[in-house]
Amino acid sequence: MKVKKHYPIHVYDKTFMVNFYISYGVCEHIYQKAVKGILQCEPQVDLKDGNMSIYDNKKNGSQIYWIWTKYKDVSCLVHECFHAIHFLLKDKGIKLSHDSDEIYAYMLQMLVKEVLK
């Protein structure tokens, strides 16, 4: 399994017109430097082994979902991606249910695939 070495990974979802940034397997310092550099804002602190943060895009008012993991741990990546998807879809009025589980699964597959390709 080959992992991209360029950080952060940027994923734009055309369906919901939302940006995801993923810092996978990088130390907190690199994650925080990337947030400051790209978003021009202070990153969240008090991080554990992974985190999902929502930032406001100052240019257009949209939200940016930033997923960070300290280690290249796929289970942690999936965990943080699920948080991002949950908050995005909740904001769009889509709650997790038997009728909506496929969109959750599709979004999760798309994000993880982008990181691991």
Contact 23, 69 (CB under 8 A): yes
| DSSP code, position 93 | T
Question: What is the value of pTM for the model shown?
Answer: 0.89
Q: What does the block give as tokens for 94?
A: 């889509």
Distance CA 23, CA 94 (A): 26
Count of beta carbons in the 10 Å neighbourhood of residue 41: 12
Nearest to residue 6, comparing CAs of 20, 24, 27, 29? Answer: 24
Per-residue pLDDT of the chain (117 residues; tens, 9 = 90+): 454 455 799 999 999 999 999 999 999 889 999 999 999 888 877 778 999 999 988 778 889 999 999 999 999 999 999 999 999 999 999 999 999 999 999 999 999 999 998
Q: What are phi and psi of 57, to 5 degrees?
A: -80, 115
